[in-house]
Structure 1
Amino acid sequence: MAKVALISGYKPFELGIFQMDHPSVKFIKQALKKQILHLADEGLEWVLISGQLGTELWAAEVVFDLQLEGYHQLQLAVITPFYEQEQNWSDKNKEWYESVLAGADFIESVSHKPYEGPHQLRLKNQFVIEKSDILILFYDPEKEGSPKFIYEAAKQKDEAGSYEIRQITFYDLQVLVEEEQMNSNDSYD
């Protein structure tokens, strides 16, 4: 039974999303919610993110929504790769990040220094995989991007037989879009 779920995936710019209210965000959050709910019903206690823009912060918002819906056992941990990861972000993204940190139940950094190099990101990936039971990853190997690195690290632990990876792909999002279109068409009948 998974007690800690690590969630990661694409950053907004990797998906061509440059607005917080982009229509795709709704479906990404629905797909994340579906996975989190399934695990919450099996006893999930913690959702773990590293605070990256995009999938990870959307997952945090889903956790906050679920807490309001009565899933009080769900807690959010943000374990950043290094101090001040948001330093070069836009003001809008910094505000988004700060709002997630304000609602988090646990915040820590793997490296207690500012950015020094890619080794800090590799260490973060190893650490968060080690501290979690399952990875929910919005990633499609046919569209490479930053999630590739955590996916490859998780596959090593998965091959050892003690880890589960649940992927959300573009096909999964397409199914959600089609379901919503069918449901909205049904309401006009």
Structure 2
Amino acid sequence: MWVTGYRSYELNIYKDSDPKVEVLKSILKDAIRQKAEDGLEWVLVGGQSGIEQMTAEVVCSMKKEFPELKVAMMLPYSDFESRWKEERKATFALLKGQVDFCATVSSEEYKSPQQLRNWQKFMLEHTEEALLVYDSEFEGKPKYDVLAAKKYAETHEYNIVTIDMDWLENGAREFFERKNENDLQ
């Protein structure tokens, strides 16, 4: 399953300690757990901060419960994180060391948008479904992945699950209800 979605800045998340991170990870974990119970073995993500990195962290945290579940970080091109701040690079390096597999689709540094289209094609051709954190009323970078997945699904058997704002709001409500119940115990 390919998992992608908004970047951190699109979610107004600028620190890992932001409470939204815990909520989003909980929602992702619930969605991935359901798929893992149905036999999901591999989750593929890119390396973007935000939903992709959160997903990689979530899958790594699920290893005890689902030892057969693996995560691959497939980067669109080499030197992917070269323009990031040092703190983000360090976090990224740690995460790369935790995933089950990490590689680049293009061995060259970024040269053109075609590398990103090739990466989308790779992700689609190497997965059976996509989990996309995206809402059409709040467009952002994931719009291009959503469009590519929908176009691919027109000619291939490909399942697309979209976590939209309603799902996120319901998931956040459930998260805080569970948290309040646990705090009362």
Q: TM-score range by the shorter chain?
A: over 0.9
Residue 35 in structure 1 maps to residue 37 in structure 2 = no
- Does 2:44 correspond to 1:53? no
Residue identity in the other structure for 1:177: A
- RMSD, aligned α-carbons: 1.7
Instruction: Supply the distance in 2 between the matched residues of 1:129 and 1:182 (Cα, whole angstroms).
Output: 36
The 1-side partners of 2:176 and 2:74 are apart by 37
Q: Give 1:160 deviation, angstroms.
A: 2.3
1:167 corresponds to: 162
Q: CA deviation at 1:78?
A: 1.1
Between the two proteins, what is the percent identity of the paired residues?
Answer: 33
Where in structure 2 are there 5+ consecutive unaligned residues?
A: none
The aligned counterpart of 1:106 is 101
Cα deviation 1:25-75 (Å, max 9, x = unaligned): 1111111111111110111111101111110000001011101x3211011
CA distance in 2, matches of 1:115, 1:177: 36
> Which amino acid in the other structure matches residue 134 of structure 1?
E
Alignment-derived partner of residue 62 in structure 1: 58
* 5+ residue gaps, structure 1: none
- Name the SS of the counterpart of 1:53 in structure 2: coil
Tell me which of 79, 84, 87 is aligned to 2:79: 84
1:140 aligns with 2:119: no
Distance across 2 between alignment mates of 1:182 and 1:97: 32
**CA contact 1:31–1:168 (8 Å) conserved in 2:** no
2:9 corresponds to 1:13: yes
Following superposition, the deviation at residue 177 of structure 1 comes to 2.3
Query: TM-score under structure 2 normalisation?
Result: 0.93
Structure 2 CA distance for aligned equivalents of residues 141 and 133 of structure 1: 23
Equivalent-residue separation in structure 1 for 2:25 and 2:82 (angstroms): 26
Q: TM-score, normalised by structure 1?
A: 0.91
Question: How many Å apart are 1:186 and its aligned residue?
Answer: 9.2
Amino acid paired to 1:125: Q
Counterparts of 2:58 and 2:51, CA distance in 1: 10
Cα 1:181–1:45 change in 2 (3 A) is closer
Q: Any idea what SS the aligned residue of 2:82 has?
A: coil
Distance (whole Å) between structure 1 residues aligned to residue 98 and residue 65 of structure 2: 16
Superposed CA offset, 1:61-99 (max 9, x none) = 1011101x3211011111111001100001111112111
> Which residue of structure 2 aligns with residue 156 of structure 1?
151
Aligned residues: 184
